[in-house]
Chain A
Amino acid sequence: MLTALIVLPVAAAIVVALVPGRRREIHLPLGIALSATPLALAGYLFWVFEPAAAYQQVERAIWYEPWGISWYIGVDGISLPMVVLTALLVPISLAASTSITNRTKEFVVYTLLLEAGLIGAFLALDLFLFFVFFEAILIPMYFIIGIWGGERRIYAAVKFFIYTAFGSALMLAAIIALAASHTAEFGFTSFALTDLVNADLTTGAERWLFAAFAIAFAIKVPLFPFHTWLPDAHVEAPTAGSVLLAAVLLKLGTYGLLRFNLSLFPDASVDAVPIMATLAVIGIIYGAVVAIVQPDLKKLVAYSSVSHLGFIVLGTFALTSGGLQGAVIQNLNHGLTTGALFLLVGMLYDRRHTKRIADFGGLQKVMPILAGFFLFMAFASIGLPGLNGFVGEFLVLIGSFPTLPGFVIAAATGVVLAAIYLLWAYERVFTGVPDKEENSILTDLSPREIGLLAPLAALIVVIGLYPGFLLDRITPSTEAVLDHIVDQTDFVIPEPGRVDDVLVAGDSS
């Protein structure tokens, strides 16, 4: 079934590619329709997913025996939300791309290939396979930014490509090194994650390898100081590109830190906690402060991603149950809210052809529905209780407190700053009287656009009110990661850092 999840988008891309180029009007609808099949499958996957620690739906086929590489895929509570999110956002961002009239067919094809690569990267349990997907994603994304982007699209696309390619090159060397040490220790070569976690590394080697993986993922997240590609890529990318970039592509970084760094290098992870937490908190505050002063709405949302992803990294390296749960759930949340915010900015841009905050004003009167959605998404992003952002950030903050109290206090200011930049942006764009003539003639959202935003809004409310259905599926896997760290290192998680501690505390009260 998981193979089908990867193959279906590729097949869809091939089908769209085979449609003659002059039938322009059917490329986009066909792409949307075909991308509904992976979504349905992902929904089914979510439904049949058993809340258990082990990888599920595992499929394994030998690729090339002497190298120990295999088509080895499986899903657990950490990858499941990301797979569903990817499958959900691709049809939505395609449907939001009606303004792309130039080379539509290629656009649809690249988006579908991107989907296949992303799902593949989240499902891969073989490091070689993961690397293949991780790198293969660059090409469609590169074309999406470079062909359909804004004015400085080529600069942004090349910068995006080179930054990420540099990070993954280091990771490739680290993967080779890891497999080599596994071969030396066990006598057979394997790139399977489940084999490599057993490799016994010297402290020095482990730190180097941790650093190589961490830099690759830190560039992807992006963590301060590797974030400089992000505003360019986001601002220049077309709406669909920004949505997928922010909502899913960046998550490869946080997902990779959680999946690979913590499991493969537990000792080094424990040692690296102060560094990673510091970078995370710098990212949280720096991203938020820079977001406040952005004159460009899209850039503001882009920098807010830097800030929000800092929370995820902080939660990951808190090495507590709450921190990891929060990180995984926030992976999903940030995808939903930021994806929606980018969609809204795109809808504004389609109407007004500007993203400068100063060009707007008083839009609430002209387009109340858009304003309402924007406010709703801003609240979700800020972390208003009852919406999903609250669940994630609260879990991260409260979960990280036992191990990283000082960092949590600093990070909490990020929540306040988020309220400032988002609400201030809302105020400048939407409130007041529409004093500019161009703004007073804008039309409100069409039913199609509402239809795109509604599922995201619904999920935001559902996760905000009842996160249990997600946490049930996530927790066994995050607990397994923590168990592994506790087994492999002499790191002791202070109370109440584990789920069990919290439950005991709850029972006694």
Chain B
Amino acid sequence: MIATPEISWIAIAPDLLLALGAAAVLLVDVQWKPPARVLAWVVGVTLVSAIGFAVLQWFQAHDAMAAGDSTTRIAFSGLIVMDGFAVFARLALLAATALGVMAGWRFVVSLGRRGAEALALILLATAGFSLMVASNNLIMLFLGLEVGSIALYVLAGLSRERPESDEAAIKYFLLGSFASAMFVYGVALIYAGTRQFEILEIRGFLGNFIVTEPAVIYIGIGLVIAGLGFKVSAAPFHTWAPDVYQGAPAGLVGYMAAVAKVAGFAAIARVLITALGDLDLTWLPVVAGISALSMLLGSVLALVQGDLRRLLAYSGVAHAGFIMTGVVGGAFDAILFYLAVYAIQLVGSFAVVAVVNGPDGAGSAITDYRGLARRSPMLAASFTVLLLGMGGLPLTSGFIAKFGVFTEAWAGGYQWLVIVAVVASVIAFAFYIRVIVVMYMDESIDQVELSLGPARWVLAVAVGTTIVWGIFPTSLLELAADALPL
């Protein structure tokens, strides 16, 4: 009898549930053609139980860490880890997904019978990214990345009637697969240099041996950074972001951007800091350069955008740069805190876009927001909080997040990067403020009442967490500090 390797179901329970949920959505839809309400229940139950299992994972990982026991946290022969870092990132992904489904619900409904496709794709994308943040193996990481990314390509093109949506999907797909190819080639080169796929093994190898011919590994690292840099839209790999943010269905962009950022940065942190930490002299200057370029390019280009979604896309480039300062500082907790905070704010912001410009909304010119404070004071106030939060104003969680990554980068010896970062933050204020000016200080062009629908819950959560974690950040900071990778 062949001995089967022990299977730790708990390590993949949330991801498994998400995949099953996606299948269930499709099957229920085909079999009974139920109203959207029923599908909402299926998705809701899936997400809630996935979150439940993730919380369970958190406690198991925590207990294992306290006991100094590393074996319970490694599953599937080293393919998957269940450490605090993975679980925290997974919880952030699940939160962004839950909020994203609510923000995009109107769009899903507007698709009619095709709504189930959107929901299944969302659950699949999250399942892929959730595996990606928990993978201890570069091949596994690539699989998760592809499962997630391919689902996102399709989501971007879901509004088939609009050419911009098709354009966004094609662009995202072509450039995205190119980036994936670069990533996987980089993985191959790292394997060639170290004979290892497993992140912990690579770390062990590099810690114990001196690499005599490092060029192969160096090129591999460069390709991996480029591939993952694409996913998080860091400059100069960001060119897809504005078109995709603008063309993809308004209700889904926030979700798409948020999960890609969370998963991408979790992978970057794990691969660079954990696996390649001993070679940090090679990649630190590169990452610092990408970080500075992203912050400056993103915030300067965001200044001149006339379309809110493009503005948010370029601001996303700047945020990729800000989070990279945390990577430079080597601080997992600061990165996680930033990711959690930013992902929620991003979903919230696009929830506003979806309300104002319609769930599918072709354009979202900033002038559409004129006088929003009169039309819908609560919506404008919520958006203001989110914009200021993304800008990093004190008393919002965005400030705590920025402060965290900046201090780490400073302590890591990259003082110049912090100075670039604070200057970029000021430029960022300028374009966030521009939107607020339009909402509050211009007269309204349109008096049509806006109805928020499920987006109201998204905004309540996003605004609430932005303020509460801005004033009392301790709870989340402590969780993030506990969320150490293996």
Contacts and interface: CB of A to CB of B under 8 A. Distances in A.
B422 A180 contact: no
A131 interface: yes
A1 interface: no
B473 interface: yes
Contacts of B429: 161-162, 165
A170 B441 CA distance: 29
Interface string B429-473: 110011001001100000000000000000000000000000001
Interface residues of A, number: 34
A146 interface: yes
**Which of B403, B422, B440 has the most A CB atoms < 10 Å from its CB?**
B422
Contacts of B388: 139
Contact of A132 (B394, B415, B425, B477): B394
A180 B403 CA distance: 13
Contact of A169 (B407, B415, B426): B426
Contact of A162 (B411, B430, B477): B430
A283 B360 CA distance: 55
Given A64-B477, A147-B441, A165-B429, A136 B394 contact: yes
A499 B481 CA distance: 51
Contacts of B426: 162, 165-166, 169
A200 interface: no
Nearest to B384: A139
Contact of A135 (B393, B430, B481): B393
**Which of A136, A146, A172 has the most B CB atoms < 10 Å from its CB?**
A172
A158 B440 CA distance: 13
Interface string B398-415: 010001001100110001
Contacts of A177: 410, 415
Contacts of B474: 63-64
Given A64-B474, A132-B395, A135-B393, A180 B407 contact: yes
B423 A180 contact: no
Interface in B369-410: 388, 393-395, 399, 403, 406-407, 410
B407 A67 contact: yes
Interface in A151-189: 153-154, 157-158, 161-162, 165-166, 169-170, 172-173, 176-177, 179-180, 183
Contacts of B394: 131-136
Prevailing SS type, chain A contact patch = helix
B418 A173 contact: yes
Interface residues of B, number: 28
Contacts of A166: 423, 426
A156 B149 CA distance: 45
Contacts of A131: 394
A179 B473 contact: no
A142 interface: yes
Contact of A154 (B425, B430, B441): B441
Nearest to A65: B474
B441 A179 contact: no
A406 interface: no
Contacts of B415: 173, 177
A66 B481 contact: yes
**Which of A66, A135, A162, A173 has the most B CB atoms < 10 Å from its CB?**
A173
A146 B393 contact: no
B27 interface: no
Interface in B97-135: none
Contacts, number: 77
Nearest to B406: A176
Nearest to A21: B377
Nearest to B420: A173
A66 B399 CA distance: 17
A161 B388 CA distance: 13
Nearest to B440: A147
Interface in A360-412: none
Nearest to A132: B394
Contact of A173 (B419, B434, B440): B419
Contacts of B418: 173, 176
A421 interface: no
Contacts of B434: 158
Contacts of A430: none
A136 B425 contact: no
B223 to A, nearest CB: 33
A143 interface: yes
Contacts of A142: 433
A169 B423 contact: yes
Given A66-B481, A169-B426, A177-B415, A153 B441 contact: yes
A135 B481 CA distance: 27
**Which of B415, B430, B437, B481 has the most A CB atoms < 10 Å from its CB?**
B437
Contacts of B419: 170, 173
Nearest to B374: A103
A147 B442 CA distance: 9
A40 B426 CA distance: 38
Interface in A171-221: 172-173, 176-177, 179-180, 183
B393 A172 contact: no
Interface in A87-136: 128, 131-136
A169 B399 contact: no
A146 B423 contact: no
A501 to B, nearest CB: 43
Contact of B473 (A64, A133, A153): A64
Contact of B430 (A146, A147, A153, A158): A158
B428 to A, nearest CB: 10
B440 A179 contact: no
A158 B437 contact: yes
A136 B440 contact: no
Given A177-B415, A179-B407, A146 B441 contact: yes
A67 B407 CA distance: 9
Contacts of B481: 66
B421 to A, nearest CB: 8
Nearest to B425: A169
Contacts of A169: 422-423, 425-426
B399 to A, nearest CB: 7
A146 B407 contact: no
B437 A180 contact: no
17 contacts: A132-B394, A132-B395, A135-B393, A135-B394, A136-B393, A136-B394, A153-B441, A162-B433, A166-B423, A169-B422, A169-B425, A173-B410, A173-B418, A176-B406, A177-B415, A180-B410, A180-B411
A-B pairs with lowest CB-CB distance, top 5: A132-B394, A169-B422, A135-B394, A169-B426, A166-B426
